[in-house]
Amino acid sequence: MLQSQFDPAARQALAVEAVAAKTRKDLSWQQIADAAGLSVAFVTAAVLGQHPLPAPAARAVAALLGLDDDATLLLETVPTRGSIPGGIPTDPTIYRFHEMLQVYGTTLKALVHEQFGDGIISAINFKLDVRKVADPDGGERAVITLDGKYLPTRPF
Name the residues annotated as catalytic.
96, 99, 122
Residue 27 backbone phi and psi in degrees, to 5: -100, 155
d(CA 28, CA 45): 14
Checking phi first, is residue 62 left (phi over 0); if not, alpha (psi -120 to 50) or beta? alpha
Per-residue buried b or exposed e for 132-145, using 16+ beta carbons within 10 Å of the residue's own CB: eeeeeeeeeeeeee
Q: What 3-state DSSP class applies to 120?
A: strand
